[in-house]
Chain A
Amino acid sequence: MEPTKQTINRHQLRTLIQVGIKQNWRGATNPFEPTADKKATVGFPGLAIWVGLNLFLSFALGGMILAISDFFISLVLSSFLAMTIVSMQVLMEFGNIIIIPDDFHIIGPRPVNSKTFFISKLIQLIYFVSLLSLAISIIPSFFALAKTESILSPVALILQFWICNLFASFLMMTIYTLIMKKTDRSRLERILGYVQLVMMILIMSGSFIFAQLFREYFMGADLSAALWVKLLPTYWFASPYKLISSGWDFLTFTFACGALILLIIISRVAFSYLSLSYADSLSRIPSNLESKQRNYLPRFVVSLWNRYARPEDKALLMITRANFKHDAKFRLGIMSFLPILLIYGAIGIREAGDGIFNPLNPIEGTAEIPNLLFGFAVSFFPLVIMSAMHSSKSWESAWVYFSTPMDRVRMVQSVGRIIILIITFPFGVGLFLIYLYFFKNPLDAFLHTLFLVTVGTNIITFGNLFSFTSKLPFSTDFSSGNVMMSGLGGLLLSLVVFMPPIIYICIAGYHGYIGWVVAMVIMLVIKKLLAIGSTKRIEIRVKKLEFFG
C-alpha cells in the first residue's frame, strides 16, 4: 500500500479535541473512595485548579498595572511575570496535556494520521494556554481600562499576555522535545529530569530578574530606557502596542518585526515535534532503563540506616528512589519545586553582600532579607515537595498497604521523615555552611540553622494535622494540578501560622542565647503537641481508609 497524502480528518480532529479537553477537566483517581456513584460528568476539575490559581495571581498583576505609572512598562513587566508563571504550569502539565504516553497505545492502532493527531494536540495546547492566559489577564485588563480610560489598553493587554504565553509554551516545548529527539531512549528519562530542573531554574531566574526590575523602578530608574528591559521578549511583543499608541518609531517597528519572526520560527519548530512517536518515546522510557541500583552513600551510612531506620522508612526510601528513577511524572513534580530551594539560596547569598544579619549576635548594617529567604525555603518548601509524594503512575500498588501487616499510621508519618532526610537535612547542612561563612561563628550558625530546621519539621507535622499531607505515599493517580493543590493549600495555611515568628526572629533576632533557648523550647513544645495531634488525626483517617482502586 502506498502511503497516501496526509490530510486533516475533520471528524477525527473534532473527536480528539473533544475527548482531550474533557479529560483535562477531569481529576485524579482516589483509590480510597468508593466509586459506584461516580458518573462521568462529575469528575474533579483538574484544570480548574490552574485557572483558579491564575485568577488569584491576576490580582497581583493588576496591582502592578496600577502601581507603575508608565502603562507600556507595566505591560512589559506584568506580561513577563505572567509568561514565567504560565511556562511553569505548562512544564508541570507536560505529560497530562501535551504529550500523553497513553496516546500511543490508544490512538496508535486506530486509523488516525499524524497530521490530524498533531493538529488536535496543537489546539489542545493553545486551548490550555489561552485559558490560563485569560484567567491571569482578566483583572489586569480591568485595571488597565481604569487607568488609561482607553479600550485599546485592555485589548492590548489580553493579546500581549496571550501571545507571550503561547511563545513561551512553544519555546519550552521545542527545547523539551528537541532534547527528546537528540538523545537515545535509554538516557531520555534521566535527561528529562535535568531538563526540568534547568528549565525551572530559568523560569525562576526570570522571576528574579523581574523582582530586580521592579525594585529598580521604585528606586527611580527609568526602565523604558534600560537596555535589559528592551531585551525582554515581552518588550518586543508589546512593541506593536507602542507603535499604535505612541506613533511610528523605527526601533520599535524593528522590535515588533523581530517578535513576529521569533514567534513564527518557534511555532514552526515546536509544531514539528507534536507527534505520536513522542508519546511512544515517553511511554517506553521505563522499560529501557538500566535496573541496577547504585549506592552513592558511604557504606557506614547505609549500614547505619539499615540497622536503625524503621521498616516503613526503609520501604518508603526504596520506593521513593524507584519512583524518582522510573516515574517521569513524579520526578518532574519534584523537579518543579527543587529549583525554588536553590534559587532562594542563590538570591539569599546575592542579597547578603558583605554580611547576613546574625539573629544571635546582631551587627549593624547586615542584611536581614537572606535570613527570611533561607527561613522560608527550609521551612515551607519541603511541605510543598511532600505533596508530590502522594502520586505515582503505580498508584494501584497501594493495595500492598492493606494486604501486609504494616502500620499505616507510621507509613504516613514516614513520608514526612523521608522528606526531612532527603530535602530538609541536606538543605540545612548547606544553610549551616552559608551561615558559618557569613557569621564567622560555628555555634551561632548551628543554632540558627537548628531553629529553622525545627520550624521546618514542625510545618511538615502541621501539614499532617490539617490533612494536606496525611496520605499514604504514592497511592493516588496523577491529574492536572493535584500536586499543586495540596501543596499550596498546606503552604498557605502554614504560612499564616509560622511566618510571623520566622519574620520576627530573622529581623529582630533572638535577643541573645537565652532568647534562642526560649524560642527552641516553644518550638519543641509545639512540635510535641503537633505530633500528638497529627498522630491522632492520621489514626482516625487511616482507620477509615478502604482500598477501592
Chain B
Amino acid sequence: MQKPVLFSVGIKTLIGGVRPLIKVANLCRSFDTKKAVADLNFEVRRGEIFALLGPNGAGKTTTIKMILGMLKPDSGSISFDGQPLQFGEVAYKSRIGYVPETCALYETLSGREYLSFIGNLHHLSETDVKEKSDRLLEMLDLGDEADQLIRSYSKGMKQKVLIISALLHDPDLIILDEPFSGLDANTVLIFKEILKSQAARGKTIIFCSHILEVVQKLVDRLMIMKEGKALVSGTPDEIMRQTGHDSLDLTFNRITGSRDTEAVAQDIIDVIGSSKDSDSGNPDSPSDNGTN
C-alpha cells in the first residue's frame, strides 16, 4: 500500500520544519589501509525515516557508529540539530536511541535488570523505568521471562530487549541497525507501526536493513552505499524510477552492480550437487569409541 506522502510530509514539516536533525558532510573513515567510508554526504530531516542500504561491507555500520560518537571520523563533520558534534561529547547521546547490529547485551543480567540499568544511565527515575519497562516487557510478551537472565533468551527476545532499551528514554533520534533480525512477523508489524508513529511525532529514524520489502514500505528516503560511498539517494519511488524496476530488491541489485542472482544461485546448486565421494555423512556408522 502506498504511503500518503503529501499528508505525511505536511505534518512533519509542521512539527520540525526543514532543518535537518543530522547533517553529514565529507565524512571519511579508514581502518588500516581499507577505506570504510569515503567522502560521504547526506542529511536526515526531523520526523523522517531514512534508510542506509548497501551490500555487506558498504560502510553503513561505520557511518552509524560515527554518528553515535563511537568512532572518530578521519575527516569531515557531523552536525546534530545544527550543532557540530565533537568526538567525546556525550550530552547529545541522551537524545539518541540505538539498536546495534549485534546482540550486545550484558547477558548475565535479566531483561528487567538490563532495562533498569539503561534507564539509570539515561537518568530516568526508578519508578518511571520500572513502570515503563514492566509495561513494555508485558506488551512484547516478555513479561514471564523478564527476570530470567538474558543469556537464556532467544535471538528474537534479545532483539526485543534491545529495541525497548533504545526507545525507553523517548529519544529524538532513533538509529537501528538491522532492527528486525530474529523478530517474529507480528512483532515486526508492531515495530513498523511504532517507527511510523514515532516519525509522525517528529522523531527522526535512521535504519539499516537488508529486508528491502520492509524498507520500501517504511522509509521516506533512502541512500544506497557501496564501498563507503553513496551511490544514490532519494525516495524509494524516485530511485526505482531511475532504474525502471518496480521493486526495491531489483533496483538495489541493479545499482550495486551485483551479479546475476539467478545465475549465481544456479552455480551454487551445481556445486552442492557435484559431490563425488563423501564419507562424512553416515549417521549410523559405528564408532570405535577408542581410548585416549
Listed in ascending order, the chain A residues whose CB lies under 8 Å from chain B are 1-4, 11-12, 14-16, 19, 22-23, 26-27, 29, 35-36, 38-41, 43, 102, 104-114, 184-186, 280, 288, 311, 405, 407, 409-410, 413, 416-417, 420, 457, 460-461, 464, 477, 479, 527-528, 531, 534-535, 539, 548
| Shortest Cβ distance from residue B115 to the other chain A in the assembled complex, whole angstroms | 12
With A1-B86, A413-B290 known as contacts, the answer to whether A110 contacts B118 (CB < 8 A) is: yes
A107→B118 CA distance, assembly (Å): 9
- Is B84 a contact partner of A1 (Cβ separation < 8 A)? yes
With A1-B84, A4-B91, A413-B289 known as contacts, the answer to whether A40 contacts B109 (CB < 8 A) is: yes
Does B89 interact with chain A (Cβ within 8 Å)?
yes
| Closest residue on chain B to residue A458 by CB atoms | B292
A212→B104 CA distance, assembly (Å): 48
- Is B280 a contact partner of A311 (Cβ separation < 8 A)? yes
- Is B291 a contact partner of A40 (Cβ separation < 8 A)? no
- Chain B residues within an 8 Å CB radius of A409: 287, 289
- Is A112 a contact partner of B121 (Cβ separation < 8 A)? yes
| Shortest Cβ distance from residue B159 to the other chain A in the assembled complex, whole angstroms | 15
Does B110 interact with chain A (Cβ within 8 Å)?
yes
A335→B291 CA distance, assembly (Å): 27
With A1-B85, A4-B91 known as contacts, the answer to whether A106 contacts B105 (CB < 8 A) is: yes
A528→B98 CA distance, assembly (Å): 58
| Closest residue on chain B to residue A110 by CB atoms | B121
| Closest residue on chain B to residue A105 by CB atoms | B104
State which of B85, B98, B282 has its C-beta within 8 Å of the C-beta of A109. Answer: B98
- Chain B residues within an 8 Å CB radius of A1: 80, 83-86, 89, 91-92
Pairs across A and B, CB under 8 Å, 30 listed: A1-B80, A1-B83, A1-B85, A1-B86, A3-B86, A4-B91, A11-B123, A14-B120, A26-B108, A26-B149, A29-B151, A35-B152, A38-B149, A40-B112, A40-B113, A40-B148, A106-B105, A107-B121, A109-B100, A110-B118, A110-B121, A111-B91, A111-B92, A111-B121, A112-B90, A407-B287, A407-B289, A413-B289, A457-B292, A534-B292
| Shortest Cβ distance from residue B110 to the other chain A in the assembled complex, whole angstroms | 3
Consensus secondary structure, chain B interface: loop
Does B88 interact with chain A (Cβ within 8 Å)?
yes
| Closest residue on chain A to residue B148 by CB atoms | A38
With A1-B84, A110-B118 known as contacts, the answer to whether A539 contacts B289 (CB < 8 A) is: yes
Does B222 interact with chain A (Cβ within 8 Å)?
no
- Is B89 a contact partner of A4 (Cβ separation < 8 A)? yes
- Is B287 a contact partner of A405 (Cβ separation < 8 A)? no
A114→B93 CA distance, assembly (Å): 13
Does B31 interact with chain A (Cβ within 8 Å)?
yes
Across the A-B interface, give the 6 residue pairs with the lowest CB-CB distance, nearest first: A35-B152, A40-B110, A405-B283, A105-B104, A531-B291, A15-B120
- Is B68 a contact partner of A43 (Cβ separation < 8 A)? no
Q: Quick one: CB contact mask for B113-135 with A, threshold 8 Å, 1 for yes?
A: 10001101111000000000000
A479→B69 CA distance, assembly (Å): 30
A396→B69 CA distance, assembly (Å): 30
- Is A106 a contact partner of B292 (Cβ separation < 8 A)? no
Does B70 interact with chain A (Cβ within 8 Å)?
yes
Consensus secondary structure, chain A interface: helix
15 further A-B contacts with Cβ under 8 Å, apart from A23-B109, A105-B100, are A12-B120, A19-B113, A40-B109, A40-B147, A102-B106, A109-B93, A109-B96, A111-B122, A311-B280, A407-B289, A409-B289, A413-B291, A464-B292, A531-B291, A531-B292
- Chain B residues within an 8 Å CB radius of A39: 110, 147-148
- Chain A residues within an 8 Å CB radius of B147: 39-41
| Shortest Cβ distance from residue A40 to the other chain B in the assembled complex, whole angstroms | 3
| Shortest Cβ distance from residue A344 to the other chain B in the assembled complex, whole angstroms | 23
- Is A527 a contact partner of B32 (Cβ separation < 8 A)? no
- Chain A residues within an 8 Å CB radius of B113: 19, 22, 40
With A105-B100, A111-B122, A288-B31 known as contacts, the answer to whether A535 contacts B106 (CB < 8 A) is: no
Does B249 interact with chain A (Cβ within 8 Å)?
no
- Chain B residues within an 8 Å CB radius of A19: 106, 109, 113, 117
| Shortest Cβ distance from residue A391 to the other chain B in the assembled complex, whole angstroms | 14
A111→B105 CA distance, assembly (Å): 17
State which of A43, A107, A461, A548 has its C-beta within 8 Å of the C-beta of B149. Answer: A43
| Shortest Cβ distance from residue A411 to the other chain B in the assembled complex, whole angstroms | 10
State which of A2, A107, A288, A535 has its C-beta within 8 Å of the C-beta of B86. Answer: A2
A539→B105 CA distance, assembly (Å): 35
A365→B113 CA distance, assembly (Å): 66
State which of B85, B110, B121 has its C-beta within 8 Å of the C-beta of A12. Answer: B121
- Chain B residues within an 8 Å CB radius of A479: 108
A12→B122 CA distance, assembly (Å): 8
